């Protein structure tokens, strides 16, 4: 079979499976189609079959990521998120920028990871994993391999955290509220936070979800911080409009859609479809990888992600028990 035709078939099947998820009787059969799995499929395709349609992959990953991030805003309630995170606001500020600083020290100074990859991993760890990387990546003009390695690092740790966090929580006797706070801060992606919270208990799920939503709001501030941090005198800053659309989507959902039943349905529909688009985007990003680019990356980015993740988990745990 022609390799390019095989690429189209794989992409078509992934898209079909994502759409099948809307059919109630068939949705359980699509639960395996998660961002880490789809990213892995894209990476394996690039390694074993080869890179095809590189220009299409690049454009699709760039714009579909941005559209997906904007769509996710329709699933967030600005007022609820701010109210829930009010008590832990100071620690949220310290943890977000503290993580970025520690990530810079570990990645750039100790492990000598390239600037973009190190920053993407730090940002994903500091805020909300893949969504943060998707937001910051276009701002710093990250290359496909840098995005792929960063996302792969975060997703691998997410999958591990989903299983290990509830075990640790029960082992040390954490309360529902404490575990929810710990999971929301120490685990990258919202999906894994929700999964870990649900595995621990109903109250843990509620706390983990609301605190994570509050933390996710920092994407906007960090995005502006990133624009100035990566700006040079020779290059004019291009303001990414999708950040404003992301904010606008949250405002519309909070003050308009959430007041009506049809609005709640519409907001959930857009948010859910955006998650599916974000999942599909992982294939484009993974398919952009090559064996040569993987060899250039090495294990250092993964090591940075692991060290940073463990440090944040331990520090957060200590903070919770000292409250």
Most confident of 15-19, 24-28, 152-156: 15-19
Model confidence at 54, in pLDDT bands (50, 70, 90)? Answer: confident
Mean pLDDT of the chain: 81
Q: From CA 223, how far away is CA 230, in angstroms rounded?
A: 11
262 vs 28: which has the higher pLDDT? 262
Position 121 scores a pLDDT of: 92
Q: pTM for this one? A: 0.66
Q: Are 267 and 75 in contact (CB under 8 A)?
A: yes
User: What mean pLDDT comes out for the span 108-117?
Assistant: 88
User: 59 pLDDT band (50/70/90 cuts)?
Assistant: confident
Mean pLDDT lowest among 42-56, 119-133, 309-323: 42-56
Confidence at residue 237, expressed as pLDDT on a 0 to 100 scale: 42
In whole angstroms, how far apart are CA 222 and each of 53, 95, 133, 201, 316? 32, 13, 11, 31, 20
Q: What is the pLDDT at residue 4?
A: 80
Please check the confidence at residue 272 and state whether its pLDDT lies above 90: no
Q: How much is the pLDDT for 266?
A: 94
Choose among 142, 139, 138, 108: nearest CA to 122. Answer: 108
SS3 21: coil
Give 246 or 71, the one with higher predicted confidence. Answer: 71
pLDDT above 70: residue 151 = yes
Q: What is the pLDDT of residue 265?
A: 93
* Mean pLDDT across 26-43: 78
Residue of higher predicted confidence among 282 and 16: 16
């Amino acid at each position: 079979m022609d390799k390019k035709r095989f690429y189209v078939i794989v992409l078509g099947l992934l898209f079909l499976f994502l759409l099948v998820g809307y059919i109630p009787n068939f949705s359980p059969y699509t639960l395996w189609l998660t961002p880490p799995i789809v990213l892995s499929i894209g990476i394996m395709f690039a390694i074993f079959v080869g890179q095809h349609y590189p220009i299409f992959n690049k454009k699709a990953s760039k714009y579909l990521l941005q559209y997906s991030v904007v769509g996710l805003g329709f699933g967030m309630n600005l007022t609820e998120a701010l109210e829930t995170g009010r008590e832990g606001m100071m620690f949220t500020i310290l943890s977000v920028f503290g993580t970025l600083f520690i990530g810079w020290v570990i990645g750039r100074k100790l492990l000598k990871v390239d600037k973009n990859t190190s920053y993407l991993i730090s940002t994903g760890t500091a805020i909300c994993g893949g969504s943060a990387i998707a937001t910051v990546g276009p701002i710093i003009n990250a290359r496909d391999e840098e995005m792929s390695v960063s996302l792969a690092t975060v997703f691998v740790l997410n999958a591990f955290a989903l299983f290990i966090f509830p075990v640790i929580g029960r082992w040390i006797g954490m309360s529902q509220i404490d575990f929810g706070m710990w999971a929301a801060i120490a685990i990258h992606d919202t999906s894994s936070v929700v999964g870990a919270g649900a595995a621990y208990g109903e109250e843990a799920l509620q706390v983990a979800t609301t605190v994570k939503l509050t933390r996710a709001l920092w994407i906007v501030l960090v995005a502006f911080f990133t624009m100035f941090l990566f700006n040079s005198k020779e290059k004019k800053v291009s303001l990414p409009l999708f950040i404003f659309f992301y904010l606008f989507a949250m405002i519309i959902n909070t003050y308009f859609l959430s007041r009506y039943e049809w609005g709640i349905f519409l907001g959930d529909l857009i948010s859910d479809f955006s998650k599916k688009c974000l999942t599909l985007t992982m294939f484009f990003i993974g398919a952009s990888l090559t064996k040569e680019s993987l060899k250039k990356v090495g294990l250092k980015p993964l090591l940075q992600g692991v060290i940073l993740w463990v440090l944040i988990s331990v520090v957060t745990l200590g903070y919770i028990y000292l409250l």
